Structure 1
C-alpha cells in the first residue's frame, strides 16, 4: 500500500518505523510544526519528523488544514491509506475521505473507553489492570469511528504511564501491520463503538500533582505512577516541595500523612500505606528516599504533605 503517515510524539515513532520497514511504501509524513522546548525555548522538531528524515521520507508540517493546501499535497501522492497516531490535529472530512481505505487511527486504549487526549495516563491513574491499542476507522467525531482491530495487554501493578506508553507504542507498530494486511485481504468486519460504554479523557496538567494522603494507598500509588514521567506527583516535606517519582504499596497502617517508617520511607494513607522510593527535592536531581533521608531530618510520626 501507498501510505501517508500522520503523527507527532515518540508514541507514533514505532508504527512509522514498522511501516517503513515493511512491504508498504510510506510516501510522506505529516507532523506538527517545530516548537520551542526546554528552559532556553530552543526550536525542536517532533520525534516523528526526526525519524522520518532519517528514513528519507518527505515531511510536511502544516499549521492548519483549513486552507486546503494539505489536501492538495495528499492528493498528489494518491495514497491507499492514511495512518494516524497521536498527530494532535483535527482532520477535516475531505482528508478523511481522500484515500481508498480512509484514515486509520492508532489509539492507546480499548475504545470506546478513554477517548481523547490522555488514555494511557488515565488507565494508570484509575488503576486499570488491562488496556491496549485500538486500530480505528476515523470519522469526524473524536475517537468515535468503527473498530477495525484491537490488541490487549495487562498493566503491571507498579508500571508507570511512561513504561506503559513505551509498550503500547511498540504494540501499535505490530497492530497497524496486522490491520493493513487484514484490510487488503478483506478479512476485517468493522465494529461500531457502543456509545453507552464511552468514556472521555482530557489533557493531564499540573493541577493533578499534589498527593492527598487521606486517600487509600492504591489511589496514591496510582497517582504517583500515573503522573510519571510527567508532570510528576508532589508533596511537601518540612515545608519544601518534593516530587515523588515512584512508590510501592504497603500493608502497614497509621494516621494519614504520617511517617510510619524511615527505613524504608513509608507514609500512612487513608487506607494502608505507600513506600516512597524515588523522590526529588526542588532544584535537585532525582534520588532514592534513602539518599534523601541521609541529608534531611525526618522521623517516625512526622507529618508530610
Structure 2
C-alpha cells in the first residue's frame, strides 16, 4: 500500500521502520525541528532522522489543517495514513482523504486512557496491564472505532522509560498486523463504549510535585510513571530535588508530619508519608547529575526534621 506516515518522537520510530518492511512509505509528516541544548541548535525529530536515513520525503507543517498543506498531502495519493504519536489533530479533509482511512497507534487499551499521556497515567494509577490499540481516526479525541489490541504487562519495576520502549515495539507489530488484516478484508471495526472512557491529560511539571500526604504506593507509582521525564520532585530547603527511586521503609514515625525527613541512613533518607515511610533511593539535585542517594549523601548533608514541600 502507498502509506503516508505521521509521527514525531522516539516512540513512533519502530512503527515507521515496521511499515518500511512491507509497504511503500511515500511521505513522512512530522513536527517542525526544535532548538536543543545550550547552543540552541535545531534538531530534527527522531522520525525525521529515520525518514532521511531511508531517503523518504519529509514535510514539517506548523499546522496540518492549512489548505495548502492538505493539497500537498493529496498529491501523494495515499491509500492509507498511519499515525503514531504525531502531535497534531488531523482535520476532516485529511481524515477523509485516503481510500483506507487514517489508522492511529494509541498507547492504551481503549476506551481507557484517551489523550496525550496514556503510558504515564497507567503507571501513576497503579495499573497492572496496559497495551496498544489500533483505531480508525475520527473527529473526537481518540474516539474512533477500535481495530486490534495487544496487552503489555506493567511490572512493579517498570517505569515510563521501560513501558515506553516495550509499547513502541508492540505498537509497531500491531500496526503491521492491522494493515495485513485490512488488505485481507478481515479487519473488524469495534465501536468504543464512550461511557467507559477515561482520560490521560498532558503531563505538566506540576504533575510531578509529590504530595507526601498520599499513601506510599501512590507516591512510588508517581515516581515510576514520570521516570525519566519530567520526573517527580519535592522541594528541599527551597531547591527542587528530583526523585527517581523510592522503596517502602519499615521505619516507624507516627508522630512526624507528612513530608518530614525522619531518618538519614546509609542507603538514603526516609520520608514520612500518609500511611508510613519511604526510603528515597535515587535523586537529582538542581544542576547536578542523577545518582543513587547513598552517593548523593557522600557529598551533601541531609538534615532530619526538615519538611519537604
1:206 to 1:3, Cα distance in 2 relative to 1, 3 A: same
> How far apart are residue 42 of structure 1 and its match?
2.2
Q: Distance in 1 between matches of 2:128 and 2:39?
A: 39
Contact 2:264/2:302 (8 A) holds in 1: no
Q: Distance in 2 between matches of 1:185 and 1:293?
A: 61
Q: Aligned with 1:77: secondary structure?
A: coil
Match of 1:262 in 2: 265
Matched, 1:17 2:17: yes
> How far apart are residue 239 of structure 1 and its match?
4.6
Q: Aligned with 1:243: secondary structure?
A: strand
Match of 2:6 in 1: 6
Q: What is the TM-score normalised by the length of structure 1? A: 0.94
Contact 2:65/2:90 (8 A) holds in 1: no
Match of 1:200 in 2: 199
Range 26-35 or range 263-272, more displaced: 263-272
Matched, 1:89 2:88: yes
> How far apart are residue 203 of structure 1 and its match?
1.4
1:134-192: CA deviation from partner (whole Å, max 9, x where unpaired): 10000111100000001111112131112211111111110101110011111121100
1:67 to 1:208, Cα distance in 2 relative to 1, 3 A: closer
Match of 2:292 in 1: 288
Match of 1:230 in 2: 229
Q: What is the TM-score normalised by the length of structure 2? A: 0.92
1:24 to 1:253, Cα distance in 2 relative to 1, 3 A: farther
1:217 to 1:71, Cα distance in 2 relative to 1, 3 A: same
- Paired positions, count: 304
> How far apart are residue 102 of structure 1 and its match?
0.2
Range 25-34 or range 263-272, more displaced: 263-272
Matched, 1:60 2:63: no
> How far apart are residue 285 of structure 1 and its match?
0.9
**Any unmatched runs of 5+ in structure 1?**
none
Out of 276, 282, 295, the position equivalent to 1:278 is 282
> How far apart are residue 238 of structure 1 and its match?
4.5
Contact 2:7/2:83 (8 A) holds in 1: yes
RMSD across aligned positions (CA): 1.7
1:127 to 1:253, Cα distance in 2 relative to 1, 3 A: farther
Q: Distance in 2 between matches of 1:75 and 1:231?
A: 37
Q: Distance in 2 between matches of 1:263 and 1:218?
A: 22
Match of 2:137 in 1: 138
Q: Aligned with 2:62: secondary structure?
A: coil
Q: Aligned with 2:109: secondary structure?
A: coil
Q: Distance in 1 between matches of 2:146 and 2:277?
A: 40
Q: Aligned with 1:131: secondary structure?
A: strand
**Any unmatched runs of 5+ in structure 2?**
none
